[in-house]
C-alpha cells in the first residue's frame, strides 16, 4: 500500500456505514500513511490502536519487511501460521476490500467464482500485496484451489506452497494431512534458510494459544446486557491481529481487555441480541450496519472470529500431531464433511444460548458452495432450537446494503 496521511473523513459512502468512524481526535487513515504518523498511531493504546491497525492493516508487515523480515501471505488457517512464526517469518492473513471494485481479475478469473477470492487476486494484480515474499494457500474450497494456480502463474512470488487438505475426517485423512504439514514445514525451512525445531514450534504454539485464550476472555465480556464492547469493535480487534506477529497481537489483546474491563457497566436500551454466522467477513461495515438497526451482535461463528479462536492447539511432545487435531479434526468449517447428522450444528445453538442471542444472521457469499450446502440444514436446526434466522447473501461488495438494511430492521422488529 502506498505511503499515507491522516485526514478528516470527508466523503459520503454510498449508503454504507462509515468504514472509518472518527477516532484518535477525529483523524482517520486514508490509503497512504507516512512513517511519522504511523509511529504516532503505534503509540496509541487499546481499542484506538486496534482501530488504527484495522484501517492500516498492511503497514506493520511493510514495516517489518523494511527491517529485513520475510512476510508470507496465507488465505486460510489450514496452513497453520504457527509454522511460519516458528521459522522467524511474518504470517499475514490476506484480506479483501469490499470497497475495491474488481477490474483486472476479470482478465484471469471466471466471474462465477468466489467473490472474496476474486477480490483478493485483483488486489494482488493491482499492487496491494507487493510487500509479500511468499504465498501459502490450502484446499479450503475449490475456488481457493483454483486461485492458487492462477495467482502463482500470473503473479508469481519467490515462494509459494499449496497445502492439500482432505474433506472427510478419518484416520487415513488425518495421516494425509499430517504428511502435507510435514511438506509445508520443509518448504518453510527452505524459505527461512534454517530448520524449524520442535522447541520453536512449541514456543509459537504457546504464543498463539495465549492469543486464543485472551480473545475468548474478550468475547466473554459480550455476554452482559448491554455487552461491554460492540460486535464492530470486536471484529476490528481480530482483523487488526491478522496483520501482526502473534506476540504483538497478544500485547494488543491485553491492552483492549484492560480498557474494556474498565468500562462502566451502564444499563442501555434493550436491543435484540444476534449471533452472526457464515462466510468470511473481514470488514466491519456489515456488523456495523446490523448494530445500527437497533441490534447487538454478541457472538459470531466466522473464520476471522470465534471459529478461528475456539479451543487451543494441543502442545504435547508431537506439535505436528497437535496441528492435525486442532485444525483438521476440531476446526468447525463447513468445507469439512462430518456426516449428515444435524447435531453437527449443536455448537452454534449452544453459543447462541450462552451469549443470550435471540436470532441468527446467516451471511452467505455468492457462489460459496460449502456454506450453501449447509444453509438449509443449519436453518432447520436453528428453527428446531427455537432460534429465528435471517439469510443475507452478498457478492462481497455490499452493493445491496439498503435492501439488507430493510431486511435486518424487519428481522429485529420481529424478534422484539
With bands split at pLDDT 50, 70 and 90, how would you rate the model's confidence at 34? low
List the grid coordinates of 314.
494441543
With bands split at pLDDT 50, 70 and 90, how would you rate the model's confidence at 18? very low
pLDDT of 38 above 60? no
Q: How confident is the model over 202-238, as pLDDT tens digits?
A: 999 999 999 999 999 999 999 999 999 999 999 999 9
Within-domain flag for 304: no
CATH at 128:
3.40.50.11890
List the grid coordinates of 240.
487488526
Within-domain flag for 115: yes
pLDDT of residue 41: 58
Within-domain flag for 26: no
Cα torsion angle, 46, 49, 51, 57, sign: negative
Whole-angstrom distance, CA of residue 90 vs CA of residue 101: 28
Within-domain flag for 163: yes
Looking at 20-29, 167-176, 282-291, which range is the least confident one?
Answer: 20-29
Q: What is the pTM of this model?
A: 0.89
pLDDT of 37 above 90? no
- What integer is the mean pLDDT of 406-412? 98
Whole-angstrom distance, CA of residue 115 vs CA of residue 109: 10
pLDDT of residue 36: 52
Can you give the three-state secondary structure of 259-300, one letter per residue? Answer: HHHCCCCCCCCCCEEEEEEECCCCCCHHHHHHHHCCEEEEEE
pLDDT of residue 28: 43
With bands split at pLDDT 50, 70 and 90, how would you rate the model's confidence at 25? very low
Percentage with pLDDT > 90 across the chain: 78
pLDDT of 310 above 50? yes
pLDDT of residue 317: 86
With bands split at pLDDT 50, 70 and 90, how would you rate the model's confidence at 269? confident
Within-domain flag for 108: yes
Examine residue 226 and say whether the peptide bond preceding it is cis (omega within 30 degrees of 0). Answer: yes
Report how many domains make up the chain.
1
Within-domain flag for 234: no
Q: Are 151 and 319 in contact (CB under 8 A)?
A: no
pLDDT of 133 above 80? yes
Within-domain flag for 60: yes
Give the domain extent around 155: 35-199
Q: How confident is the model over 313-367, as pLDDT tens digits?
A: 998 889 999 999 999 988 889 998 888 888 889 999 999 999 999 999 999 999 9
Within-domain flag for 400: no
Amino acid at each position: 500500500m502506498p505511503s499515507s496521511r491522516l485526514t478528516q473523513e470527508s466523503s459520503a459512502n454510498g449508503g454504507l456505514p462509515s468504514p472509518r468512524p472518527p477516532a484518535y481526535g477525529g483523524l482517520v487513515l486514508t490509503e497512504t500513511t507516512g512513517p511519522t504518523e504511523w509511529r504516532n498511531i503505534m503509540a496509541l493504546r487499546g481499542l484506538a490502536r486496534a482501530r488504527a491497525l484495522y484501517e492500516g492493516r498492511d503497514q506493520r508487515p511493510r514495516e517489518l519487511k523494511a527491517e529485513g523480515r520475510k512476510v508470507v501471505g496465507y488465505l486460510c488457517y489450514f496452513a497453520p501460521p504457527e509454522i511460519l512464526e516458528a521459522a522467524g517469518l511474518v504470517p499475514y492473513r490476506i484480506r479483501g476490500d469490499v470497497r475495491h471494485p474488481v477490474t483486472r481479475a476479470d482478465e484471469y478469473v471466471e466471474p462465477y467464482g468466489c467473490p472474496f477470492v476474486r477480490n483478493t487476486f485483483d488486489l494482488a494484480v493491482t499492487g496491494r500485496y507487493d510487500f509479500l515474499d511468499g504465498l501459502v494457500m490450502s484446499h479450503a474450497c475449490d475456488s481457493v484451489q483454483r486461485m492458487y494456480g492462477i495467482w502463482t502463474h500470473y503473479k508469481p512470488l519467490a515462494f509459494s506452497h499449496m497445502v492439500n487438505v482432505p474433506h472427510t475426517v478419518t484416520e487415513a485423512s488425518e495421516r494425509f494431512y499430517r504428511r502435507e504439514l510435514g511438506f509445508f514445514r520443509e518448504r518453510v525451512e527452505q524459505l527461512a534458510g534454517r530448520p524449524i525445531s520442535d522447541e520453536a514450534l512449541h514456543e509459537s504454539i504457546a504464543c498463539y494459544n495465549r492469543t486464543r485464550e485472551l480473545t475468548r476472555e474478550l468475547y466473554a465480556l459480550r455476554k452482559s446486557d448491554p455487552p461491554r464492547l460492540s460486535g464492530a469493535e470486536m471484529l476490528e480487534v481480530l482483523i487488526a491481529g491478522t496483520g501482526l506477529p502473534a506476540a504483538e497481537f497478544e500485547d494488543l489483546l491485553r491492552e483492549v481487555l484492560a480498557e474494556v474491563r474498565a468500562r462502566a457497566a451502564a444499563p442501555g436500551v434493550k436491543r435484540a441480541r444476534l449471533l452472526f454466522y457464515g462466510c468470511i467477513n473481514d470488514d466491519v461495515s456489515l456488523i456495523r450496519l446490523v448494530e445500527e438497526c437497533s441490534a447487538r451482535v454478541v457472538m459470531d461463528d466466522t473464520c476471522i472470529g470465534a471459529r478461528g479462536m475456539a479451543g487451543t492447539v494441543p502442545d504435547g511432545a508431537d506439535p505436528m500431531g497437535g496441528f492435525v487435531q486442532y485444525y483438521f479434526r476440531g476446526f468447525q468449517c463447513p468445507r469439512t464433511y462430518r456426516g449428515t447428522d444435524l447435531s453437527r450444528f449443536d455448537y452454534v445453538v449452544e453459543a447462541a444460548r450462552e451469549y443470550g442471542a435471540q436470532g441468527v444472521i446467516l451471511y452467505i457469499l455468492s457462489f460459496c458452495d460449502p456454506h450453501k450446502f449447509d444453509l438449509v440444514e443449519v436453518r432447520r436446526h436453528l428453527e428446531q432450537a427455537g432460534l429465528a434466522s435471517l439469510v443475507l447473501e452478498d457478492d462481497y461488495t455490499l452493493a445491496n446494503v439498503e435492501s439488507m438494511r430493510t431486511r435486518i430492521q424487519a428481522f429485529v422488529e420481529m424478534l422484539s
